[in-house]
Amino acid sequence: MRKFSVFLGIILFVQILYSCTSPIIPYSIDAKKEDPPLETLINWEGWYTIKAIKPFFAPWDYLEDETVFRCFFSSQYFYFSFNVADATPIMCREFVQESDVEAEDRVEIFFSASKDMGQYYCMEIDPSGHVMDYSASYYRKFDYEWNFKSLEICSIKDEKGYIVAGRLSVSELLELGIDLEEFYMGVFRADFTTPNTVIWYSSVSINEPKPDFHKPNILFPCMKK
Q: Residue 22's pLDDT is what?
A: 55
Counting every residue, how long is the chain?
Answer: 225
25-222: which CATH topology?
Immunoglobulin-like (2.60.40)
Strands (E) in the chain, as ranges, are: 27-31, 52-53, 56-58, 63-65, 68-73, 77-85, 106-112, 120-125, 131-137, 141-143, 152-157, 161-169, 183-194, 197-202, 220-224
The phi and psi torsions of 105 (rounded to 5 degrees) equal -60, 145
Per-residue pLDDT of 125-178, as tens digits, reads: 999 999 999 999 999 999 999 999 999 999 999 999 999 999 999 999 999 999
Global pTM value: 0.89
Look at residue 110 and tell me whether its pLDDT is greater than 50: yes
Where along the chain do its domains lie? 25-222
Burial class (CB in 10 A: 0-12, 13-18, 19+), 41: buried
Whether the CB-CB separation of 101 and 125 falls below 8 Å is answered with yes
Q: Which residues pair with 142 in a beta bridge?
A: 136
